[in-house]
Amino acid sequence: MLRYSMTLLGFLLISVGWVQTLSAQTSVDPTGMVPGTTPSVDRSPNPGMPETREPGGIVFSGLRASCVRPGTILTIQGKNFDTMSHNNRLGLNNAGKLIELEILNKNKTRISSYLPKNNVEFNTSYDLVFYQKSNEYTFKQTGLSVRTCPANDITSNDRSVVQDVIILVEEAQENPVRSELQRRGLPIVDVYSLNALQSVLIHTRASNAVTVIQELRVVFPDAEIDLNNDLTASAKPRLYAHKTLGWTSDSGCQNTQLGFPIGLLDGAIDQNHSAFADQSIVSRNFLGDQKIDLNHATSIASILIGNNQEQGYQGLIPGTNIYNAVVLRVSSSGDQLASTVAVLQGLDWLLSQQVRLINVSLSTATANRVLNKGFILSIEKGAIVFSSAGNQGPEAPESYPAALDGVFTVTAIDSRQKIYRDANQGDFIDFAAPGVDIWAATPDNKGAYVSGTSFATPHALAVASLILKNNSKISRQVLSRALSFSLTDLGVPGNDPVFGAGLLKVTC
């Protein structure tokens, strides 16, 4: 068992072995079901057409899985779930019997609830209902049906494969967690000291990871415990970007010397590329012997510090020191993925190197509690994080870490200032920046036109860096206000879920 030191996160990260991307965010130990009662049903006015929109704009649009096993997590998708009051309830109705679902976690577009084991039949369809708890249950149909999996099904969340679990705790909790894992017969795969975050990250493995996570959260309520989910690169290339930002030769912004470093939490930069001649890049690998992705970070770095105008690589802030935390790998199927463990190790290292301004062109639709806690801790310690909105399309749920409070979230526009068609949308969008058909460096001294919110993010970060150049110690709140003075409104007037506050422009 290896122990790794992460200098800035200050939490112990304990990880339980699960390599799949699964949605299992729970916060408390499920307590079973509410005894069945006979409710009065408020049916939809049109037979066969149940209501899907509730008062207050709540919309139920779908379920994450085709079937769910009793005793596991049921994920419900929709809109405006954040407007639900503490009196609102969800339940399953079958033959007049109501089974209450415990809501474990919710945000604007997703609810994670626990499907109890007791009194729930296998291979059965239940109506998902929405109601307020009072002296008498009166509920409305959501228009969704929940089907439980057959008893012998192995494709549900409770699959019998070994999965990675990670636990982020304060240093004082390391030994109690170790003891509890030992008591349960769970291996300690790795322990990472995140000194900058004053935390420890512990990695373990379990064949029933969802249940283990639920139970450990009860034993250690102050810890963050989740799966070792993967983030993906937010990428799917013209020379209009500088003009769109106002970053032209007569703006006085070119050849600006910042005097502080920029962090890139991504794949590796191909430092042999001519775009990076005479540039300063410090790199550290957090992937071990896994195959490292060279494409994504090389393109992003060329947008920031590219220095070969003859080949079209004219970076926004050449000469800036780049600290490259290498966390993005290439999977056996060719996907660009970054595990939660690698991301937190890289984030901690950047903080330990006194890097404050960080580009994160990675995203996941999973609200992983360990990942999110790591970013929250880094922001509390002064980090300024610019993150891509994600490329799952306008109907996709919010992505992380972009949707976290304190993160600057960037979407992509094209040369006509139209939104990138695959960009995520929602109230978590802060700014828009060029990110469609951007000329960028690629490995082996080549170049290509690239598109995605990944490539909008460094443009927005560069604009922010010019403000920080005058005072690198200003707070995130002050920076946010300063950026608000250099915006061009796009789309409907005011802040909107497509463009956020608008297009960032430089002021030099």
- Give the CATH number for residue 132: 2.60.40.10
Q: 3-state secondary structure string, 310-329? A: HHCEECCCCCCCEEEEECCE
For residue 448 the two structure tokens come to: 């290509």
Please indicate, yes or no, whether residues 409 and 384 belong to a single structural domain of this protein. Answer: yes
Is 454 annotated as catalytic? yes
Question: What pLDDT, on the 0 to 100 scale, is given for residue 130?
Answer: 85
Report d(CA 133, CA 140) in Å as an integer.
12
- Taking 80 as the threshold, does the pLDDT of residue 137 lie above it? no
pLDDT value, residue 44: 31
Determine which of 16-30, 182-196, 266-280, 391-405 has the lowest per-residue pLDDT on average.
Answer: 16-30
Please identify which of the residues 193, 199, 363, 454 carries the catalytic annotation.
Answer: 454
Rounded-to-integer distance, Cα 315 and Cα 302, Å: 6
Per-residue pLDDT at 233 exceeds 60: yes
CA distance 411 to 422: 10
Residues 363 and 436 in one domain: yes
Establish if 442 belongs to a structural domain: yes
296 tagged catalytic: yes
Q: Is 99 exposed, middle or buried (0-12, 13-18, 19+ CB in 10 A)?
A: buried
Considering the domain architecture, whether residues 83 and 132 belong to the same structural domain is answered as yes
Q: 404-417: buried (b, 16+ CB within 10 Å) or exposed (e) per residue?
A: bebbbbbbbbbeeb
Task: Evaluate whether residue 35 is within a structural domain.
Answer: no
Q: Is residue 288 part of a domain?
A: yes
What value does the mean pLDDT take over residues 401-423?
Answer: 94
Report how many domains make up the chain: 3
68: in domain: yes
Residue written as token pair 């590219």: 306
Query: Based on the domain organization, do 249 and 397 belong to the same domain?
Result: yes
Same-domain status, 224 and 249: no
DSSP per position, 220-260:
-TTSEEEE-PEEEES------HHHHHT--TTTT-TT---SS
74 secondary structure, DSSP code: E
Residues 299-314 pLDDT 10s: 999 999 998 877 878 8
Pick the catalytic residue from 203, 242, 296, 459: 296
Domain boundary among 203, 228, 253: 228
Indicate if 261 and 347 belong to the same structural domain. Answer: yes
Give 245's contacts (C-beta < 8 A, 6+ positions apart): 316, 433, 434, 459, 462, 463, 504, 505, 506
Give the integer Cα–Cα distance in Å for 355 and 349: 9
Give the pLDDT of residue 49. Answer: 33
pLDDT at 296 over 80: yes
Mean pLDDT of the chain: 82
* CATH classification at residue 416: 3.40.50.200
Name residue, tokens 């709140």.
477
pLDDT in tens, 324-368: 999 999 998 889 999 999 999 999 999 999 999 999 999 998 889
Do 210 and 264 fall into the same domain? no
Q: Are 77 and 397 in contact (CB under 8 A)?
A: yes
Q: Picking from 45-49, 432-436, 475-479, which range would have the lowest pLDDT averaged per residue?
A: 45-49
223 and 189 share one domain: yes
How far is it, in rounded angstroms, from Cα 481 to Cα 503? Answer: 15
In a domain, 236, yes or no: no
**Mean pLDDT, residues 95-104:** 82
Of 89, 124, 147, at which residue does a domain stop?
147
**HEC-encoded secondary structure of 89-139:** EEEEEECCEEEEEEEEEECCCEEEEECCCCCCCCCCEEEEEEEECCCCCEE
Does 357 lie in the same domain as 480?
yes
pLDDT at 297 exceeding the cut of 70: yes
Which of the 8 DSSP states describes residue 435?
Answer: -
**3-state DSSP percent of the chain in helix, strand and coil, to 5:** 20, 35, 45
Judge if 411 and 490 occupy the same domain: yes
29 within some domain: no
Q: Kindly state whether residue 470 falls inside one of the protein's structural domains.
A: yes
In a domain, 483, yes or no: yes
Given the residues 127, 266, 293, 414, select the one marked as catalytic.
266
pLDDT over 60 (residue 492):
yes
Give the residue numbers spanning the domain of 460.
241-504
Q: Which of 91, 113, 147 is the last residue of a domain?
A: 147
Classify the phi-psi angles of 8: left when phi > 0, otherwise alpha if psi is within -120 to 50, otherwise beta. Answer: alpha
Residue 39: pLDDT above 90?
A: no
CA 307 distance to own-chain centroid: 31
So what's the pLDDT on residue 235?
67
- The answer to whether residues 295 and 217 belong to one domain is no
Could you give the C-alpha distances from 234 to 64, 281, 387, in angstroms and in order? 22, 22, 9
Lowest average pLDDT, out of 29-43, 266-280, 442-456, goes to 29-43
Task: Name the pLDDT band for 162 (thresholds 50, 70, 90).
Answer: confident
Judge if 132 and 253 occupy the same domain.
Answer: no
394 phi, psi to nearest 5 deg: -65, -20
Show the tokens assigned to 169.
């705790």
Distance CA 106, CA 94 (A): 24
